[in-house]
Chain A
Amino acid sequence: MINSNTTNFSPNKAAAFTRPLFLTPTEDLKGYVSGHLGRLILFAITCFSVLAVLLIFGFVAREAIPFITKQGIGELLTSTRWFPEAEGSSAEYGGLALIVGSLYVTVGALVLSVPLALLAAVFLSDIAPFKVQQVCKPIIEILAAIPSVAYGFFAVIVLAPWMQKHWNFTTGTNALNSSLILAVMAMPTIVSVAQDSISVVGREIREASYSLGATRTETMTKVVIPAAHSGIIAGIILGMMRAVGETMVVWMASGNASQIPHPWWDLSQSIRTMTATIAGELGETPKDTNHYYVLFAVGLLLLIFTFSLNLTSEYFLARFRKRKGTA
């Protein structure tokens, strides 16, 4: 018995024990190849997503180049007269009203949805009992699953006459109508992501704040929300992207009048967005006409608009992060 415990030192066993466990390629070719092949395949799949974005940008730019080289981009950015289907030289390609329309609708949707969504997220994560949260969260996520054409239908058939009757608007399909519907569409995304990121802020942070004597409001506004700010801003960016890219709702609910509202704060006037213009007119234009190229130029402007909004949000996020000093 004592003999089995004493180390009968055998140099072979010792060498086997101290050899590294990682097998060299010559010893385990199959393992080496399959390991690296797996990594290569995953890398290719990631590259594919990046490539898709670049290719979209490239394709749209390629179709927009003939318009930019022939007519120049000045008129598109400064004039509000949009008559691309008029014959020959009387065609006018002024896209300023479209750009301003997209801006109105996006800013309006954000102003209406962000406060409500943040408050809903705070309520669902901190104040509501768990049962309420269990019921409410799926219902809010269903809002995100409703097809956009159903929202557009509701906007034209129900919301527009209601606005005309109760708020005495001349026309019910206007900037306010589209902003309202887009706010409802963007809200579920913001609520979901913001609520998740607020819940993830650990108990220790909240308990530390309470232990220092802070009230519930002070904890929420000065400790928890700043701690969750990156997730909240990510949610807001996602909601904003949904609002900018939405086509069917604005095609039906915004009235599609190519104008900039006269006193700029008058949201009860009809406007037209870039997305609705492209959707409404691209079907009828035969390929390789000026009308076709200018629509792709508007598409390029839309892509640039979206990317610059994204970059601005990332910039503010980075600045806030640096100032607060958290990672």
Chain B
Amino acid sequence: MRTTRIAILLTLSVFVGMAAAAEQAQILQIEGSTTVGPIVAAFSEKFMQMHPEVAITVKKTGSGDGAAALIDGRCDIAMMSRFMKPDEFEKAVKNGVFPVAHAIANDGVCVVVHPSNPIKELTSKQMRDIYTGKITNWNQLGGPDMKIVPITRDTSSGTYETFNEKVMEKEKMAGHVEYVNSNPQAAARVKSTQAAIGYVGLGFLDSNVKALKIDGIMPSKQTIAKGTYPVSRPLFLFTNGYPELGSIVHEFCTFYLTETGQEIINSKGFVPLTNY
């Protein structure tokens, strides 16, 4: 009985100590896109090494979720792989939040299929027809006789928004299109389903899936940086107003300009904005 009492007191004091330590640390909340997520997670690791008193939490739930969190004041930085929509901006201003965009890298939305699929390229119009349900079988495009399984990201995703704007031209997708909720999950579905077609950010292309040429152009760092690949987009960090010079938020938002930042962006498979 005596030993259990001592053990309980010890664990309680450890918790109190942790709580006290956490209160002293500065907390930076970052929420948003699963595309920008890996970059920001790597940034925050480096950052916490350089500034040990700062604790950074990164939540990857989708660009839409990040915008909503910034509007409600639940996070300091929202990472988004698309620009804020007009109604999000209006909501923000109504709540007293003035969103400022910082573009930190370039990204391309790559269309991927299973490695066994013989198709090598598609036009934007063919992509649109696949996702609106006009083309339903791979043999209509010169491939094997299998029903196409189109896979899309859920609507809170910036990758979805970019695809919606640039490829779908805002047309509504067909009923049989499947929804997944993150980039890795989309890649996993395409990897395991022979008749699947989906889209992921450039950083998630690996040897398990095959990228297609869109309108004759292959997605790569050069074509995205030049803007010739049709479905390329900048990745943003949004803050409430321009962060104060010298504050932690400002240092984080300008980290992409440093040598370390650009190395990280390059290593994650994205395209740095500067001439790295």
| Residues of A bordering B, CB below 8 Å | 80-81, 83, 85-87, 90, 92, 97, 156-157, 160-161, 164, 170-173, 251-252, 255-259, 269-270, 272, 280-281, 283-287, 289
Contact = CB atoms under 8 A, between A and B. Distances in A.
Given A170-B147, A171-B193, A283 B175 contact: no
Contacts of A259: 175-176
B178 A85 contact: no
B176 A257 contact: yes
Residue in B91, B149, B179 with the greatest tally of chain A CB atoms within 10 Å = B179
A284 B32 CA distance: 10
A85 B170 CA distance: 11
Contacts of A97: 175
A268 to B, nearest CB: 11
Interface stretch (B57-65, B102-110, B268-276): B57-65
A285 B175 CA distance: 22
A90 B177 CA distance: 19
Contact of A280 (B68, B72, B154): B154
Contact of A173 (B67, B177, B189): B189
A160 B88 contact: no
Contacts of B63: 284
B40 interface: no
A85 B152 CA distance: 15
10 contacts: A156-B188, A170-B147, A171-B193, A172-B192, A172-B193, A270-B176, A272-B179, A283-B68, A284-B68, A284-B156
B206 interface: no
B62 A284 contact: yes
B154 A257 contact: no
A251 B71 CA distance: 26
B175 A258 contact: yes
Contacts of B189: 156, 160, 173
A283 B193 contact: no
A87 B165 CA distance: 12
A86 B172 contact: yes
Tell me whether chain A's interface is mostly helix, strand or loop, or mixed. loop
Given A170-B146, A280-B156, A284-B65, A257 B172 contact: no
Nearest to B86: A87
B180 interface: yes
A285 B67 CA distance: 9
A83 B147 CA distance: 24
B186 to A, nearest CB: 11
Contacts of B170: 86-87
B181 interface: yes
B260 interface: no
B195 interface: yes
Contacts of B62: 283-284
Residue in B91, B156, B194, B196 with the greatest tally of chain A CB atoms within 10 Å = B156
B244 interface: no
A234 to B, nearest CB: 35
A171 B156 contact: no
Contact of B65 (A83, A171, A255, A283): A283
A233 B189 CA distance: 39
B178 A173 contact: yes
Interface string B167-191: 0001010011111110001001100
Interface string B26-69: 00000000000000000000000000000000000111110110
A256 B180 contact: yes
Contacts of A269: 176
A313 B189 CA distance: 38
A285 B68 contact: yes
A261 to B, nearest CB: 9
A280 B179 contact: yes
B135 to A, nearest CB: 15
Contacts of B175: 80-81, 97, 257-259
A234 B62 CA distance: 40
A286 B68 contact: yes
Nearest to A279: B181
A104 to B, nearest CB: 15
B234 to A, nearest CB: 20
B149 A171 contact: yes
Residue in B87, B189, B194 with the greatest tally of chain A CB atoms within 10 Å = B189
Given A171-B149, A269-B176, A280 B192 contact: no
B154 A281 contact: yes
Contacts of B88: 286
